[in-house]
């Protein structure tokens, strides 16, 4: 946590050296569409254990979320135990046998993710990977891990002690690159998720250290205002994004109870337009039909997972009324009319504003309803709500 005292986006990563770039060019797109899955932190935090993880894997299959595209079951912080005399990391008592857990998750057609820090300690004060990067990567591969979230945490103080921003940044980049290389050296495909809260504009250098995704902000909370604050801070980032490498505005809060269904649909719609990872953060074993319907909406997931792999951006903002647009494969567009005010509002969008000639075929994604060929679409959008459209060029 201490690392966050350094100002967000304090400077551009202009000093990234040639070696970083070479490593980035060599990288394959391990995650050609944004990762989908579940992560333990938002709901379970320090309470996550082996039984919880198995129950989430069971629920992911039983609920149909696996078949909707969710794959990763990601254990966040607090699984870590002590190192043995050889320096090998072991899980703590909450996780008796990590390899057996991975086997269990894999047998369900799912993948298992884990968490560590480039510092000596994780954010929750558990054992980090500092000085043991290659060894930990090998251990993860041996267990059958498929995804690593690598969280800056206690590396922050040594960066602050570095004396200059350039030196601090160099420490951070070297630490992330070290684990990136260590993961590659295992020969096992392990998705590499950088978590450093958007410091030093990771969208400019994340790929070059081997990352498939990187956090762009501080932590989300289960509150509408915080979720929107995070989404707003993503405006302008689409131009830095390339297919296979994803800006990560943090995990989903859908179903955790702090927002209503209208607000959770807004959350999900924004994340889909942003080509964000869809990592559910609720208890999948005890979710309401409404939560499941929001997480599993096929039209919204199809936007998030669109094969063009391009993030969307804000096209227009008039006070609390915002129009966000994402380019989709085949010249289609995902269009979100967001009303961030408390009261219903009239909103509209025209085909011309979307640079589509004539009338365009419009589909209301949440209502799953074809609206026909329209030159202009009007709607009354509820307070805190969205109308999400898939708009296709019709050519006339």
Q: Are 315 and 348 in contact (CB under 8 A)?
A: no
The distance of closest approach from Cβ of residue 208 to ligand GLA in the complex, given in angstroms and rounded to an integer, is: 22
Answer yes or no whether residue 170 interacts with ligand GLA by CB under 6 A: no
**Could you tell me the two tokens for 122?**
């994780």
27 in contact with ligand GLA (CB under 6 A): no
**Size of residue set near ligand GLA by CB under 6 A:** 9
With contacts defined by CB under 6 A, name the span among 118-126, 178-186, 236-244, 288-296 that binds ligand GLA: 118-126
For ligand GLA, the closer of residues 230 and 345 by Cβ is 230
If one asks whether residue 176 binds ligand GLA (CB under 6 A), the answer comes out as: no
Residue 279 touching ligand GLA (CB under 6 A): no
Q: How far apart are CA 6 and CA 92, in angstroms?
A: 31
Name the residue nearer to ligand GLA (CB basis): 44 or 104.
Answer: 44
Q: Report the residue from 20, 38, 41, 150 that binds ligand GLA according to the rule CB under 6 A.
A: 41
When the beta carbons of 153 and 268 are compared against ligand GLA, the nearer one is 153
77 touches ligand GLA by CB under 6 A: yes
Known catalytic membership, residue 219: yes
Rounded least distance, CB 219 to ligand GLA, Å: 5
Contact call for residue 151 and ligand GLA (CB under 6 A): yes
Of the candidates 76, 151, 222, 250, the residue annotated as catalytic is 151
Q: Note whether 353 binds ligand GLA by CB under 6 A.
A: no
Smaller CB distance to ligand GLA: residue 122 or 216? 122
Q: Encode the chain in three state secondary structure.
A: CHHHHCCCCCCCCCCCCHHHHHHHHHCCCCCCCCCEEEECHHHHHHHCCHHHHHHHHHHHHHCCHHHHCCCEEECCCCCEEEECCCCCEEECCCCCCHHHHHHHHHHCCCEEEEEECCCCECCCCCECCCCCHHHHHHHHHHHCCCEEEEECCCHHHHHHCCCCHHHHHHHHHHHHHHHHHHHHHCCCCCEEEEECCCCCCHHHCCHHHCCCEEECCCCCCCCHHHHHHHHHCCCCCHHHCCCCCEEECCCCCCCCCCCCHHHHHHHHHHHHHCCCCEEECCCHHHCCHHHHHHHHCHHHHHHHCCCCCCCCEEEEEECCEEEEEEECHHHCEEEEEEECCCCCEEEEEECHHHCCCCCEEEEECCCCEEEEEECEEEEEECCCEEEEEEEEECCC
Pick the binder of ligand GLA from 68, 124, 237, 302 (CB under 6 A): 124
- The least CB distance from residue 125 to ligand GLA, in Å, is 9
Closer residue to ligand GLA in complex, CB, 37/309: 37
The region of 62-70, 89-97, 120-128, 175-183 touching ligand GLA under the rule CB under 6 A is 120-128
| Binding of ligand GLA by 8 (CB under 6 A) | no
**Residue 76 interacts with ligand GLA (CB under 6 A)?**
yes
Residue 253 in the binding site for ligand GLA (CB under 6 A): no
State the catalytic residues.
151, 219
In the complex, which residues of this chain contact ligand GLA (CB under 6 A)? 41, 76-77, 122-124, 151, 195, 219
């Amino acid at each position: 946590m201490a690392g966050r005292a350094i100002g967000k986006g304090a400077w551009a990563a202009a000093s990234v050296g040639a070696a970083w770039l070479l490593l980035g060019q060599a990288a394959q797109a391990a995650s050609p569409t944004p990762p989908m899955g579940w992560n333990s932190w938002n709901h379970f935090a320090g309470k996550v254990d082996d039984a919880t993880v198995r129950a989430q894997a069971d629920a992911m299959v039983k609920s149909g979320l696996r078949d909707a595209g969710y794959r990763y079951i990601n254990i966040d912080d607090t699984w870590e135990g002590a190192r043995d005399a050889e320096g090998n990391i072991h899980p703590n008592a909450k996780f008796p046998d990590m390899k057996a857990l991975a086997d269990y998750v894999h047998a369900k057609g799912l993948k298992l993710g884990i968490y560590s820090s480039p510092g000596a300690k994780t954010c929750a004060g558990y054992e980090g990977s500092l000085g043991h990067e290659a060894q930990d990567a090998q251990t993860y591969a041996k267990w059958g891990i498929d995804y690593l979230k690598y969280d800056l945490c206690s590396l922050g103080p040594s960066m602050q002690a570095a004396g200059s921003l350039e030196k601090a940044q160099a420490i951070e980049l070297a630490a992330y690159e070290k684990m990136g290389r260590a993961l590659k050296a295992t020969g096992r495909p392990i998705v590499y998720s950088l978590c450093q809260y958007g410091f030093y504009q990771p969208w400019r250098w994340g790929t070059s250290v081997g990352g498939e995704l990187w956090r762009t902000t501080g932590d989300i909370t289960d509150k509408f205002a915080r979720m929107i604050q995070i989404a707003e801070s993503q405006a302008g980032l689409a131009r830095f994004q390339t297919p296979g490498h994803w800006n990560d505005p943090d995990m989903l809060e859908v179903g955790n109870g702090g927002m209503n269904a209208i607000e959770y649909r807004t959350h999900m719609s924004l994340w889909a337009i942003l080509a964000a990872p869809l990592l559910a953060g609720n208890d999948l074993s005890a979710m309401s039909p409404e939560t499941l319907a929001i997480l599993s909406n096929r039209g919204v997931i199809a936007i998030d997972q669109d094969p063009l792999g391009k993030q969307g951006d804000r096209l227009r903002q008039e006070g609390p009324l915002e129009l966000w647009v994402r380019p989709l494969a085949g010249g289609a567009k995902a269009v979100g009319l967001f009303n961030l005010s408390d009261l219903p509002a009239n909103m509209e969008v025209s085909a011309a504003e979307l640079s589509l000639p004539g009338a365009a075929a419009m589909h209301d994604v949440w209502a799953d309803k074809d609206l026909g060929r329209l030159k202009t679409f009007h709607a009354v959008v509820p307070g805190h709500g969205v109308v999400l459209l898939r708009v296709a060029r019709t050519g006339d």
